[in-house]
Amino acid sequence: MSHPGSIDRRSLLGLLGLSALAGCQPNSAPSFKGVDLTGVSYAQKLELPDADGRPRSLADFKGKAVVLFFGYTQCPDVCPATLGELRLVKEAMGKQGEQVVGLFVTVDPERDTPELLREYIANFGPGMVALRGSPEQTQAVAKEFKVFYAKVPSKTGPGYTMDHTAASFLFDTTGKVRVYHRYGAGPEALRHDLTQLLAVKP
């Protein structure tokens, strides 16, 4: 699967390179481009199996910044655009980008089999993990993160699409949720906030 054509790889890497020095100072309080979620009571717990069936939680990724996104593999636009942008941001961050993990939670476990999820997430480079729970587990996690999703029956056949919240949750290196990025916030904002979060020492 190719990355979204709306993202110009060379231009994006150049823009991010120009903003590479815009990170936080070691002793300064973070100032985020996204919505600051520091101290909220929700989005605290995530426990789901990965595409290989291994139980995963936020504790598995301590020491790294985490970008969490809810979506599904047959999403035609928002999901591949978001994951493709994250891949390019990670690449532009160089060695720092290796300390960023992308978590993709499917809201369509009925169709998103483990095999399909492994194939899908591999398109977006290293440091990306697909998570797939039962319908009940998916509902519980979505409730914890205040994420909406629902089936939308096809008007032309027996299939369906999924409506879902189009946003990312960013966690610092201690596993605490810190930032909410709405879809379309842009790569520079994502790069800026991930740099801030990587400065938080576990």
Tens digits of residue pLDDT in 83-128: 999 999 999 999 999 999 999 999 999 999 999 999 999 999 999 9
Between the CA of residue 169 and those of 8, 66, 112, 148, what are the distances in Å?
24, 8, 21, 14
The binding site consists of 75, 79, 164
- CATH of residue 59: 3.40.30.10
Euclidean distance between CA atoms 93 and 99, whole angstroms: 10
Residue 74 belongs to a domain: yes
Euclidean distance between CA atoms 109 and 113, whole angstroms: 7
Domain total of the chain = 1
Strand partners for 48 = 56
Read off the amino acid at residue 31: S
pLDDT per position as a tens digit, 134-187: 999 999 999 999 999 999 998 888 899 999 999 999 999 999 999 999 999 999
The binding site for Cu cation consists of 75, 79, 164
Predicted model pTM: 0.85
161 or 18, greater pLDDT: 161
For residue 164, the model assigns a pLDDT of 96
Euclidean distance between CA atoms 114 and 86, whole angstroms: 22
Quote the domain boundaries for residue 183.
48-198
